[in-house]
Structure 1
């Protein structure tokens, strides 16, 4: 059953939509006395020294206002009286309790903006979110069209259908009274967000790495599901999840999901605003720059890099121990973008299959490290402590971006596989581990360079239960101190000396030679990986 693409007229945005679209840590509610569903038509940037103008269904931004001033409470009362939908302040370390109490008394929604976000950029974010809802224009809102698509697929398949963005927020869902549904879907619809449990995240990982319709069996109380990724070319935009009927979905159901994904992509792209399209354009330019496709002049033009700007490059990736999160790069990129763009609107962000790269045209390593700390803090609720960040050395020549990218990849290679590695690292933090990894690469490419005695020693230990390899390694790590090494091994010094002599007799290891000792140590360390 093919689906039709019928746009519908969009409605006004609400305070709730603004909070969901921008979200913490950029914007959060301090007081919301039942007014989150108030309509919003626009924004007003107001100087507290001027008289407050009428503002029905407007959001009031108050730069220059200190939350603990007496005038702040008076402005809250005036804003509520003049019809404003919400008021945004910055706390800047203040408690704000009196202001919250006054907002609750007056019935005005009070929002707090992050201190580090400029008022100009916050206003642009709000207008962008309002624009995506069709406020002030005649463009059809994607939301109603997506609800219609969800209902159309549900009519074919028989089960509840949800259309989600890459933040796993439910954008639309089917609403037939007799559709098949389970508690997990009900919870997602009620909270407008899919519960973040490892079982769900693993399914997203599988889906985003697959083409076409993917079937998931019943598990952990969740009914069987069929799902598909919404894509624009190779770029994922979201996902569609349909609960299957007891008879399955059949050929018609699969075709309905495929049609729905195609039409949903059109709705989502139609609803994208200029800021998102600019981010996408920058992403393509950054990917080319990291591959070395452009000259310095062309890269500077495409990425709007000022002359002699100190370039900083960050890389983000999930650690190898991130069960259910590893390879969810699209979700990670989406979460990072939501934090980084308001804080550094001049940043360019690019996503590959292995990592997310962030280029900062100015500020150097210190600014990059600060941004990485803030980003990891902001996404910890969704991704735990499983994300690692790499900070490349700075450069003023855009032609150096491919080398910066290689160094970022090298750092991430170490940090995502070593649980004790720092969450934010530069080359100085992992230089020794990286050197060892590179030596391992060379030995893998050129096995003839390996000392055959090391492999023979390891095999002998495995077959006979002996401890030659660990004894040699501990002795080498003790820098030849037999007493220290024997104590660490829990054996007599004579026992250790005997084992060292036998390694020469059995495996041909010449441990009296410094170069041989280094080669043997490197190979033994690599065997531990």
Structure 2
């Protein structure tokens, strides 16, 4: 599966042409509206995401989706529209405020390029999925024309069951069974029977790997008999790059592999099921909420299915980075504004990005193969956040992670990085914090946790020095002397005492209190305990 939508990609060509006016009419005014006149009946043969930082590609018949035009001046946007018109684009889709509509209408009139306004509540990812569906609807259906009635998914499951000879289930991303077949004589096993009764896929040791594979595959996938489970053919349901669910058919044909006809049947069933699920998504969840729920699950690490990366469109091979944002003293309104600002910036470059507010902080997850790549994504965000939310925001970068179960650990690391930044444990602490930048501080924190949890590692003599006021200067002198690598003169200067005072306190630590300092390991253990308890 093409897991992420890059800023630029080759336009998807389709068979029958659809006019731009037809697309706008079918999507409806709650999704997209024309700015000014639509001009002639331009035909659309594909879509393409367009980044304003790049030159306009050859765009003949292509509807350009431009997430990054909101900050452009009117003159710059006019130049972009003019270039797109010269390259044969069918139209340019943008998001804009109501105040800019007259200026954009004038640009459309001057360049002859239709401009479309995308509703703010519609994510670019969802719009891409809707367009993909509409541009592909003219292809041949799974079977001949027929009245599917009020429950098209059940009728679709029955058609597939008649072809495969076994029970068919259509599922959403949460593995709820949305529809199932009821063809007389169909092959069915106990697992499918239990799932139909509960309307939920039963737990199985094979589930996570199987679903991950299916959601990342372009065509149908065949699974052989596993224990009491009959052979199954499965295919992902998606619209564009947006995963929506899956179809599972018990295969009674006896074929060892997926045949070309089986693959074709499953692909067409996926397209039809995707159309119905996408309509439901558009009506009931037209924003990023389902994706935000996935991220919230990943951050907590509870009830993971193992397919979250595939559902979010993040390739496991490349990995994902997690950004944690914190604004000192921010209230709920500022946190919401911070999340909105972060996601608006990130999706311009990573359409798979998703962000949520969680426990007073904002977390964003997106495709990135290295910490440096994630830092480059975060750097342009800081001036925007300073201007729109407030100064003092710190960003923690954790990752990359390659599995769903690793995201909760990345969130814990991001929290530790933000805490280290808040304490100012590193001189001239940067505003974008990475593990490499504060590693010594992280080591000391973990050592402190280790000493607190394992009493046998603590030297009682060191604890005794810290416990009382008269002996506390001895502990402070020990710590300073060790930090000065045994240099008495330097330690005395830092403490503001005479060198003989330092020597006297070291002698008392050894002779009167039993602190051992003869070997390097002993000095290391003493320093770690003193450093950990000095926090």
Normalising by the smaller structure, the TM-score range is: 0.3 to 0.5
Bigger Rg over Cα: 2
TM norm structure 1: 0.47
